[in-house]
Amino acid sequence: MRLLVVGGAGYIGSVVTARLLAEGHQVVVLDDLSTGHEDAVPEGAEFRLGSIADRKALASLLSGGVDAVLHFAALSLVGESMAQPELYWGNNVGGTLSLLTSMREAGVRRLVFSSSAAVYGEPDSNPIPEDAPTRPTSPYGNSKLAADLLIGDEARAHGLGAVSLRYFNVAGAALGRGERHNPETHLIPRVLEVAAGRAEAALVFGTDYPTLDGTAIRDYIHVDDLAQAHLLALAATGGAPGRHLVYNLGSGAGFSVLEVIGAARDVTGRPIPIRHQPRRPGDPAVLVASSQRIAAELGWVARRPAMAGMVADAWEFLLARTGG
Ligand code: UFG
The model's pLDDT over 65-102, given as tens digits with 9 standing for 90+, comes to 999 999 999 999 998 999 999 999 999 999 999 999 99
Residue from 98, 99, 46, 36 nearest 70 by CA: 99
Per-residue pLDDT tens digits for 38-62: 999 999 999 999 999 999 999 999 9
Extents of the domains making up the chain: 2-168+221-249, 187-218+252-322
List beta partners, residue 244: 162
Q: What's the pLDDT score for residue 323?
A: 81
Residue 190 Cβ inside 6 Å of ligand 1? The answer reads: yes
Question: Which 3 state secondary structure label does DSSP give 10?
Answer: coil
pLDDT confidence of 222, banded at 50, 70, 90? very high
Same fold, 2-168+221-249 and 187-218+252-322: no
Residue-wise burial string across 169-206, b where 16 or more C-beta atoms lie within 10 A, e elsewhere: bbbbbbbebbbbeeeeeebbbbbbbbbeeebeebbbbb
- Ligand 1: which of 76, 187, 226 to mutate, most ligand atoms within 8 Å of CB? 187
How far, in Å, from the CA of 68 to the mean position of ligand 1?
Answer: 31
Residue from 186, 175, 193 nearest 8 by CA: 175
pLDDT confidence of 239, banded at 50, 70, 90? confident
Q: Which fold has domain 187-218+252-322?
A: UDP-galactose 4-epimerase; domain 1 (3.90.25)
**CA–CA dist 253, 52 (Å, integer):** 35
**CA–CA dist 75, 217 (Å, integer):** 23
Q: What pTM was estimated for this model as a whole?
A: 0.97
202's enclosing H/E stretch is strand 202-205
Catalytic, 140? Answer: yes
DSSP assignment, residue 24? T
Instruction: Give the nearest ligand 1 atom to 144 CA.
Output: 36
Residue from 178, 120, 200 nearest 322 by CA: 178
265's enclosing H/E stretch is helix 257-268
**CATH pick for 2-168+221-249 out of 3.40.50.880, 3.40.50.720, 3.30.70.260, 3.20.20.70:** 3.40.50.720
**CA–CA dist 27, 22 (Å, integer):** 11
Q: Are 31 and 10 in contact (CB under 8 A)?
A: yes
Task: Give me the amino acid identity at 239.
Answer: G
Residue 283 Cβ inside 6 Å of ligand 1? The answer reads: yes
Residue 216 Cβ inside 6 Å of ligand 1? The answer reads: yes
Among protein residues, the one whose CA lies closest to atom 6 of ligand 1: 187
Q: Are 66 and 108 in contact (CB under 8 A)?
A: yes
Query: Where does residue 83 rank: exposed (0-12), middle (13-18), buried (19+ CB within 10 A)?
Result: exposed
